[in-house]
Amino acid sequence: MKKEIIINSTNEDTRIAILENNKLVEIFVERPDNERMVGDIYKGKIRRVVKGMQAAFIDIGFEQDAFLHFSDMGQEVNQLFADVDEEFLEGDKIKTDMDPADLLRNGQEIVVQIIKEPISSKGPRVTTELTLPGRFLVLVPNQHRVGVSRKIASARERRRLRNIARKILPKNYGLIVRTVAEGKDEKTLEQDLQKLIKTWHKVQQEIKRSRAPKLLFKDLGMASSVIRDLFTSDVKRVVVDSRKMYREITRYLKEVGSELVNRVEYFKSKRPIFDEFNIEQELQRSVERKVWMKTGGYIIIEQTEALTSIDVNSGRYFGKKDHERNSLKINLEAAREIARQLRLRDIGGLIVIDFIDMEQEENKQKVLKELRKEFAHDRAITRIEEMSRFGLVEMTRQRIRPSLIYNINETCPVCNGTGLVPTQGTILANIERVIRRYIASNYDRRIIIRAHPHVIDYLNNKKISRRHRLMWKYWIKIDTEVDETMNPYEFRVLVKKTREDVTKKFL
């Protein structure tokens, strides 16, 4: 598989595209006001412990408190648990049968690391099990285990790396060996380890002298972290259109002793880099509800707060007379496109897919197999259930940050995110209800209706206008005023004599 990383940098944002066989599969967007947070370490203060939720809410200086689930708490005691009662401990560890709710208390300071960015109205999710990622290793303070990436295929190479990690591992530290460490010698890995230990010592000093809430450690920015985490030997090249970022990336790769530095290219063309690699058009498609497929079928992707629903349709595909074979062909193509779209849009949480109905169990298994095969390329953790008798597949995908649509779009101020606004008939009915309540309150029988031009036209556009019908029906004098600053579905009812706005009173 041909993999490439394309980076577009402007004054307003940095966009990083991952291509597989010239097709866009992942996109990362970072802006100065929306920087990457995963991996950042904070000293926070416990705001509230909720036993029923098995969680605590931590003030780390954000608008919404961070969420610490008890399952994200390790057994190790760090500096900030020095005042823990002896009855809660076994040596330097928390007792395994200990209820974390008894250990935590309101106002207590605690060190946490962000593992999931804020999404919608939810604050970031955090853990007390801290990690510091390097180019080849991940340092895990206060642990004693060694892990090796499962993506390293050779069992012999994994064993070699594990032995090196155990040899260089200091006391009271754990290590995870990353995929990019494959083939690296002991000296290279030890250099990476020493940098991480030096960084951890700085974090420890910050922990002792700072007051909560405080940022203790800031992980690399989006572009640098993508290079660190995703620029592996199977990536053919990295192309970047910013001289400054090109220098930063090559400097970083030289510092960590990576031989991949020769695969970084500076893009010199006057043409926009995302146009050159046909990314811009794909990016526009990635925020649309309907995605057309080559066969003429299409999928509809609907994101809600609770889940994402995906509907597969045959569209313009007619195929052969055999309905079962037609359905299988569309569903197989849809499975491939769904996996790509979920990665591209970075959609996480619960996902329900409605495939076209098939009768044969063998065909259902083919679609499931194709879906699982495509998601095997996904870095996010996925779980896919069997297809139900209604042709539905339930699955979950790990959610770490808000999906792409929320990074590049914001809620429409007109419809407030529903995608719908009242019809003109509904608006007129609401106006009539206000008038009826207004009359019952013995106000002056002369009013002004102020509204958007479309609403005023709707009131006045007939020979016997709707406005006149309201006047005759309720024996009231109605004048109109156009206000182009109002939304197309808004209106105001004013008392003509005093100009008092009585809309809220009677709506």
Sign for the pseudo-dihedral over CA of 235, 236, 241, 247:
positive
179, pLDDT greater than 50: yes
What mean pLDDT value characterizes the chain? 84
DSSP tally for the chain: helices H, then strands E: 14, 26
> What burial letters (b/e) apply to 193-213, b meaning 16+ CB within 10 Å?
bebbeeebeebeebbeeeebb
The three-state secondary structure class of 342 is: helix
Residues 6+ apart with CB under 8 A from 259: none
CB 480 within 8 A of CB 431: no
The three-state secondary structure class of 188 is: helix
* Count of Cβ atoms closer than 10 Å to residue 284 Cβ: 10
Distance CA 275, CA 430 (A): 48
Which pLDDT score is estimated for 408? 66
pLDDT in tens, 489-504: 889 999 998 999 999 8
pLDDT in tens, 133-174: 888 899 988 888 888 888 888 889 999 999 999 999 888 888
Distance CA 103, CA 81 (A): 9
Which pLDDT score is estimated for 75? 61
pLDDT in tens, 188-207: 889 889 989 999 999 988 88
CB 340 within 8 A of CB 23: yes
pLDDT in tens, 61-112: 888 899 998 888 866 545 444 445 555 445 555 555 566 677 788 888 889 9
Q: Are strands 477-482 and 446-451 parallel, antiparallel or unpaired?
A: parallel
CB 126 within 8 A of CB 112: yes
Distance CA 319, CA 297 (A): 11
Q: What angle in degrees, to the nearest 10, is found between the helix axes of 323-345 and 361-375?
A: 20
Distance CA 26, CA 344 (A): 4
The alpha carbon of 425 is separated from its chain's Cα centroid by a whole number of angstroms, namely 38
Outline where 118-257 has alpha helix (H).
Answer: 155-168, 186-209, 222-230, 243-255
Which pLDDT score is estimated for 82? 40
pLDDT in tens, 30-43: 776 667 788 899 99
Q: How confident is the model at residue 506 (pLDDT cuts 50, 70, 90)?
A: confident
The three-state secondary structure class of 444 is: coil
Distance CA 126, CA 289 (A): 32
pLDDT in tens, 3-52: 899 998 887 788 888 898 888 888 888 776 667 788 899 999 999 988 88
221, pLDDT greater than 90: no
Tokens of 104: 């935590």
Q: What is the pTM of this model?
A: 0.71
The alpha carbon of 311 is separated from its chain's Cα centroid by a whole number of angstroms, namely 21
Instruction: Give, rounded to a whole angstrom, the gap between the first and last alpha carbons of the chain.
Output: 61
pLDDT in tens, 390-444: 889 999 998 877 666 666 667 777 777 677 788 888 888 889 989 988 888 878 8
